[in-house]
Amino acid sequence: AGAAVSALATAPAVLIAGRGLCGAGAALIMPATMSVLIHLTPPERRGQALATWTLSAGLGGLAGNVGGGLAGEFLTWRALFWAVVPLGALLALAVARTVPRTAARSDASVDPLGALLLAGALLAVVYGIIEGPSYGWTSAAVLTAFAAGAALLAAFTGHALRAARPLLDPRIFASRRLRAGSLGIGAAFFGLFSLFFVNAQYLQYAKGFSPALTGLAIVPLTVGMALVPKLGARLADRTGPRLPVGVGLGLIGAGLLLVSTVDAGTPYALYACHLLVLSVGTGLCAPSLTLTVVTELPAHQAGLGSGLNTAAREIGAALGVAVVGTVLASRFHGDPRDAAQIGAFTQAMGVALRTVASVLLLAALAVVAGYRKGTGARDAASGVGGAC
């Protein structure tokens, strides 16, 4: 439905509404798919199952980038949305016919107030980050945005602690490993989406690639996501999750630092190698981080774990785009389509990516510390099992 609305859009507001519908659909699908996997897969095979889930996400990203580039160059942008309509219908039919039903929870409920408070807090913080360079970091508008974000988050926490069926019970974060896994997922997508924000601009403006070639040029970024997750899951089975998580997040940070060194004269082959480093890091850490979040809660809360995993991804992605875009805008005020300004653009892009990499690597240290051996985390999580 969202794709059809987008394809038929005659005004920006309608297009945005259509994309919003698509986002709402994705928000329903992603946690549900993971929850079904957890319910249907024996504990000893869940790592490999989630590695396959990560593989499918990587292949979907590849198809979207290549398809978007081809549509942008050879077809109208509406064609990409029209292609999704029959595909979505076929997949919905396939799911209805093949995926077994799982028992519904009788205590499940929605928490619209909690959702509004949490979304408002995130929106306020992102607004403050984006507008900081324009208004000044100490301006009334920016400080008010950050204060509003903090107040809304505090209000959400208070509401969640009192509600019988909250959107997210803060007490689950008494689990050290759950905190580490959630932070790790957010950090990984913080880095990934910061790269997504500048990748197409760099390839098209600095390297002169066409939209179709730009879509193909990101293939190295999906190679590691497609091929490495199963290796990461096997490594976690042998050594525990701390090693693949630490190495994976470290490689994401290293990949961002490598990409931050490129300019218009950098050979694409070298740029592709930088993308591959980041991709391998994602493939290594993603299965272990995801498995942590969805299994550190009691079995009857698998859906909550799946939703938390998706929320961490989306919050990390939103903050990554906001931070890299803000730093880029504060350092570069020209037009990247102007050949004379490409050098200034790539320099600003480098500063932005190094900023993101620094934040990510600091978060990685906290994540690795959260996976240290010690008292298990499940006992902390199980204490709130009836509250969520």
DSSP string across 128-151:
HHHHHHHH-TTSHHHHHHHHHHHH
Q: What is the pLDDT, as a whole number, of residue 61? A: 66
| pLDDT bracket for residue 352 (50, 70, 90) | very high
If we measure between CA atoms, which residue out of 18, 159, 142 comes closest to residue 88?
18
Answer whether residue 332 shows pLDDT above 70: yes
Sign of CA dihedral 125, 129, 135, 139: positive
Answer whether residue 368 shows pLDDT above 70: yes
If we measure between CA atoms, which residue out of 345, 342, 187 comes closest to residue 256?
187
If we measure between CA atoms, which residue out of 290, 276, 308 comes closest to residue 245?
290
Q: Per-residue pLDDT tens for 71-123?
A: 766 777 777 777 778 888 888 888 778 777 766 555 556 778 888 998 899 88
Q: Which residue has the tokens 């990587």?
A: 58
The one-letter code for the residue type at 215 is G
For residues 151-180, average pLDDT: 87
Q: What is the pLDDT, as a whole number, of residue 375? A: 44
Radius of gyration of the chain (CA): 21
Q: Exposure string (b/e) for 358-376, b if CB count within 10 Å is 16 or more?
A: ebbbebbeebbebbeeeee
Integer Cα distance of 229 and 222 in angstroms: 11
Phi, psi of 240 (to 5 degrees): 95, 165
How many whole angstroms from its chain centre is CA 141? 28
The one-letter code for the residue type at 78 is R
Q: Per-residue pLDDT tens for 313-322?
A: 888 988 999 9
If we measure between CA atoms, which residue out of 129, 83, 84 comes closest to residue 328?
129
Q: Is the pLDDT higher at 151 or at 40?
A: 151
Integer Cα distance of 252 and 277 in angstroms: 7
Query: Do the Cβ atoms of 335 and 72 come closer than 8 Å?
Result: no
Q: Per-residue pLDDT tens for 354-367?
A: 999 999 999 999 99
| pLDDT bracket for residue 378 (50, 70, 90) | very low
Q: What is the pLDDT, as a whole number, of residue 374? A: 56
Query: Do the Cβ atoms of 168 and 160 come closer than 8 Å?
Result: yes
Answer whether residue 158 shows pLDDT above 80: yes
Percent of the chain with pLDDT over 70: 87
Q: What is the pLDDT, as a whole number, of residue 302? A: 65
Answer whether residue 57 shows pLDDT above 90: no
Q: What is the pLDDT, as a whole number, of residue 107? A: 52
Q: What is the pLDDT, as a whole number, of residue 187? A: 94
For residues 217-232, average pLDDT: 82
Q: What is the pLDDT, as a whole number, of residue 248? A: 94
Beta strands in the chain (DSSP E): none
For residue 308, give every residue at least 6 positions away whose Cβ sits within 8 Å of its Cβ, in sequence order, or none: 168, 172, 178, 182, 293
- Residue 16 is encoded by which pair of tokens? 């945005």
For residues 199-204, average pLDDT: 90
| pLDDT bracket for residue 172 (50, 70, 90) | confident
Phi, psi of 209 (to 5 degrees): -75, 150
Q: Per-residue pLDDT tens for 268-297?
A: 999 999 999 999 999 899 888 988 888 787
Q: What is the pLDDT, as a whole number, of residue 384? A: 44
Q: What is the pLDDT, as a whole number, of residue 109? A: 61
Q: Is the pLDDT higher at 44 or at 278?
A: 278
Q: What is the pLDDT, as a whole number, of residue 287? A: 84
- Residue 110 is encoded by which pair of tokens? 């929605």
Query: Do the Cβ atoms of 386 and 174 come closer than 8 Å?
Result: no
Query: Do the Cβ atoms of 29 and 303 come closer than 8 Å?
Result: no
The one-letter code for the residue type at 322 is A
Q: What is the pLDDT, as a whole number, of residue 385? A: 42
List the alpha helices (DSSP H) in 202-301.
211-217, 219-227, 229-239, 242-259, 268-295
Query: Do the Cβ atoms of 363 and 183 come closer than 8 Å?
Result: yes
Q: Which residue has the tokens 């875009």?
A: 325
